[in-house]
Amino acid sequence: MSRLVVVSNRVPLPDENGNPPPGGLAVAVHVALRKNGGIWMGWSGRSTGEEEPQGLTTLEQDKISYVLTDLSQADLDEYYNGFANRVLWPIFHCRLDLAEYARQEMAGYFRVNRLFADRLVPMLEPDDVIWVHDYHLIPLAQELRKRGVRNRIGFFLHIPWPPADIVTALPVYEIIMRGLAAYDLVGFQTDYDLDNFVGCLRREGWGDWSTPGWLRAFDKEVAAAAFPIGIETGDFARLAAKTDGLDLVTDMQQSLHGSALIIGVDRLDYSKGIAARIDAFERYLMRNPDQAGKVTLLQVAPHSRSDVPEYLEMQGQVESHCGRVNGAHGTIEWVPIRYVNQSLTRPVLAGLYRLAKVGLVTPLRDGMNLVAKEYVASQDPADPGVLILSRFAGAARELDGAIFINPYDTEQTAGAIGRALSMPLDERIARWRRMMDHLESHDVLWWCRTFLAALNEAPEDNGALTRESD
């Protein structure tokens, strides 16, 4: 079997016992790397300040080489905080109003991709299979091809791909599209994302389907498909079943005094629809005054990208919404919304998911949303909660037992909360069982195997690794 080389913006390093950090992607990719050995390359998380980054740091463990590169402060400002998170992220999440383009930041984005390519090429072997992850590194395959790399290279986009009318606003639109065409396989979260991508090619006359699963794009054959990412379904279910004795979960249950718990867990990001969710919960309380003291919303939203101004502004907005609702509807005995602005451990999260009668997952746009899947996997099979899910989350293409809502419609979401809280047990079980069966057969290991199998079926570009002549 070929050696696997994984490239991502960040590298989730194992702990001192060799265990990968929690999270489906890290676990699945570690399993694949350990099987045949390989490399995981990415940013170290460190900045060299004004100095140019020099050399690589390598950690060897369990047949895996973790290869890390530092970045300069200019790299972070332009590549990461700049073009990746202030241009690509908002546009791919259909927020043109938040995209701020600067030519210098665009140049930094491509410069860091060239840096990654320069540092990766000397480590490659002719039979290596290369798997590149996410929007930070879209140009990487093209840079590798320029350096003579002919290995199979696959790319997986973890965030949504927007419709053509949106993505054409990208200042370097054609360059990004050509960058994706340099891969042998391009993977998306859902069939909707795939259709949007093909629509972009078709509209500009750059390409179209040639045969099922294969695109002819920019005079090159490219495989493309949807590969919805999963979670560690079995592990998460077993973890949730063992959380009854956790102090934080027990304290939470006791503090509710019998009221029903609704839970929302999100990274603090404008794509997650947190403010609209709070408005919908308030609307539910206003429509159902008899529920005062009988239901509580727990919103967990750890800080995210605090160096980007839009995120700081959103943090203040969410805090203001929570304060307004609690001030208007709370009593001495009852606080309607409990807002936690910090990360919780996986066992605690699993226990809180299991405790919650409703999982409220209402992003305005999301590539997949693994919280929805974790909530389902954590439920008690004999008494499961109900998932309320935005139709704009990728998970809505799989979790057909959820109550689907339009997150922009606060009235509809408020009605869904009432419906979820009053849903009969037999309906809750039937809906949960349908979703759980799917998650068990389509877990994160299935996702990893399926993508790599498709990549291994792609023909190698000239069948060998060569390098540019000096």
Residues facing residue 223 across a β-bridge = 185, 214
Rg (CA), the chain: 23
Q: Are residues 193 and 134 in the same domain?
A: yes
Cα–Cα–Cα angle for 387, 388, 390, nearest 5°?
130
Say how far apart CA 282 and CA 410 lie, in whole Å: 9
Last residue within a domain, chosen from 191, 226, 261? 226
Instruction: Mark whether 158 is an active-site residue.
Output: yes
Alpha helices per DSSP H over 55-172: 73-75, 89-92, 103-120, 140-146, 164-167
Amino acid at 173: Y
Number of structural domains (the chain) is 2
Q: Are residues 115 and 24 in the same domain?
A: yes
Q: Are residues 338 and 406 in the same domain?
A: yes
Q: Are residues 137 and 161 in the same domain?
A: yes
Instruction: Mark whether 208 is an active-site residue.
Output: no
Tell me, what's the pLDDT at 50? 87
Tell me, what's the pLDDT at 15? 78
Tell me, what's the pLDDT at 110? 97
Given the residues 366, 442, 443, 461, the one annotated as active site: 366
207: which residues sit within 8 A by CB, 6+ positions away? Answer: 181, 198, 201, 215, 216, 217, 218, 222
CA distances from 356 to 240, 269, 279, 386, 434 (A): 12, 23, 19, 9, 19
Q: Are residues 222 and 243 in the same domain?
A: no
309: which residues sit within 8 A by CB, 6+ positions away? Answer: none
Q: Are residues 56 and 95 in the same domain?
A: yes
Last residue within a domain, chosen from 226, 253, 275? 226
Q: Are 101 and 87 in contact (CB under 8 A)?
A: yes
Residue that has been written with the tokens 């340099």 in this structure: 182
Q: Are residues 293 and 412 in the same domain?
A: yes
**Concatenated DSSP letters of 16-44:** TTSPPPSSHHHHHHHHHHHHH-EEEEEEE
Tell me, what's the pLDDT at 463? 37
Q: Are residues 204 and 260 in the same domain?
A: no
Last residue within a domain, chosen from 164, 198, 226? 226
Q: Are 162 and 92 in contact (CB under 8 A)?
A: yes
- In angstroms, the first-to-last Cα distance of the chain is 32
Given the residues 77, 127, 158, 195, the one annotated as active site: 158
Domain presence at residue 372: yes
DSSP assignment letter at 336: S
Tell me, what's the pLDDT at 466? 40
Alpha helices per DSSP H over 191-232: 191-204
17: which residues sit within 8 A by CB, 6+ positions away? Answer: none
Give, for all 470 residues of the chain, the pLDDT tens digit.
689 999 999 998 887 777 777 666 787 888 888 887 899 999 999 999 988 888 899 999 888 999 999 999 999 999 999 999 999 999 999 999 999 988 999 999 999 999 999 999 999 999 999 999 999 999 999 999 999 999 999 999 999 999 999 999 999 999 999 999 999 999 999 999 999 999 999 999 999 999 999 999 999 999 999 999 999 999 999 999 998 889 999 999 999 999 999 999 998 898 999 999 999 999 999 999 999 999 999 999 987 666 667 677 788 888 899 999 999 999 999 999 999 988 898 999 999 999 999 999 999 999 999 999 999 999 999 999 999 999 999 999 999 999 999 999 999 999 999 999 999 999 999 999 999 999 999 999 999 999 999 999 876 653 334 444 33
- CATH, residue 136: 3.40.50.2000
| Structural domain boundaries enclosing 427 | 233-441
Say how far apart CA 282 and CA 360 lie, in whole Å: 14
Q: Are residues 370 and 252 in the same domain?
A: yes
